[in-house]
Amino acid sequence: MEPAPYGLPSTVNTLVAPDAMIWTILRFAWSARAPASRRCARTAKQTRCMANDRRLVSALFVQRDGVYWNLEGVDPWDEQRDARLYPGCAPVIAHPPCARWCRLAGLVEARWGHKRGDDGGSFAAALAHVRKWGGVLEHPAYSDAWGAHGLNIPPTGGVWVNADWDGGWTCYVEQGRYGHPAKKATWLYACGVHLPSLRWGSIPDTASKALVSWCGNQVRSGEIRPRVGKDGASRTPMEFRDVLIDMARSVAR
C-alpha cells in the first residue's frame, strides 16, 4: 500500500502539509473502511479485559532481566515467550529485532547470507500489535522495515508525522538525549496514544560520546571515544523507557 501523506492533528508536536484538511478527511474515511484489526481502535473485548488493571502495558521483544523486567504494571515478553504470539489485550511497547533491517543488513546478507528483512515475521507482528492494541514501536533510524511495510519516513531532527492510513504516527529521536552513551538515532511508530513533545534535534555522528561497535571495525585515526558493544548499544535508557511506557499508558481504555 502507498504510504499516506503527512497529516493532522496539527499540534506543536506534529508536521502539517498545506492540504492537510483534505488529507485528514480522506485518511479518516479510509480508516473507517479498514478492517478493525488494522485500525488503532479499542474493542469491546479489549475494554472488558482491561477493566482489572488500567495501567497495565506489555513490553514486547525485550531482554530477560532488562530494563522492563520486574516493573510494576509492565508485562515483559522476552524471546522465550515469543511476542509474535502476543494475544493482547494491553497496550504495547514493542522493540522488534533490528538486525535484518538496519544499515548493516546488506553487509550481513552479502557476507553471511542472512536475508535482509528475514526476521521471522517479528516486525510485522509488532506493527500489527501496536495497531490493534495501541502503543509504540521502536526501531533504529533508517530501518528498511519502514519502506517494506509502507510507512512514511519521518524527517531527521524531530516532530511527529503521519505514518500510514491506519492512524499511525512516526518520528525521529535520538536516545543519546535520554542517557544512552551513543547517539542511537531511532524511529518510533505510535498508534492510539498521546504524542509527546520529545527532545528533538540531531547531532553529527562524530559528536556522540561513544561509538557503537561490536565487530572490531576500523575507525579513523585519532579516534579516542569509547566503543559500545552490541548489548550496550541495544539497551534502552531508563529515562527513554519511561517515556515509551507513559505513551502506552495514554491509550484510551
HSE at residue 161, side-chain half, CA atoms within 13 A, is 21
Compute the distance between CA of residue 139 and CA of residue 242 in angstroms, rounded to an integer: 16
**pLDDT tens digits, one per residue of 33-89:** 444 344 565 544 554 455 457 789 999 999 999 999 999 999 999 999 999 999 988
Q: At residue 106, does pLDDT exceed 70? A: no
The span from the CA of 213 to the CA of 232, in Å, is: 10
Pairing of strands 185-191, 168-174: antiparallel
Name the band, by pLDDT with cuts 50, 70 and 90, for residue 158: confident
Q: Please state the rounded mean pLDDT for residues 222-241.
A: 72
How far, in Å, CA of 57 to CA of 219, rounded?
A: 41
Q: Is 77 in a helix, a strand, or coil?
A: strand
Residue 150's pLDDT is what?
94
- Give yes or no for a contact between 73 and 80, defined as CB atoms under 8 angstroms apart: no
Q: How far apart are CA 228 and CA 213, in angstroms?
A: 6
pLDDT grade, residue 120 (50/70/90)?
A: confident
Domain boundaries, given as residue ranges, for the chain: 20-249
Write the DSSP string, 82-118. -GGG----S-EEE----TTTSTTHHHHHHHH---TT-
For residue 203, pLDDT over 90 is answered with: no
Q: What is the mean pLDDT of residues 151-168?
A: 95
**Spatial contact of 127 and 37, defined as CB atoms under 8 Å apart:** no
Position 57 scores a pLDDT of: 97
Whether 94 shows a pLDDT value over 90: the answer reads yes
**Residue 95: which pLDDT band, with cuts at 50, 70 and 90?**
very high
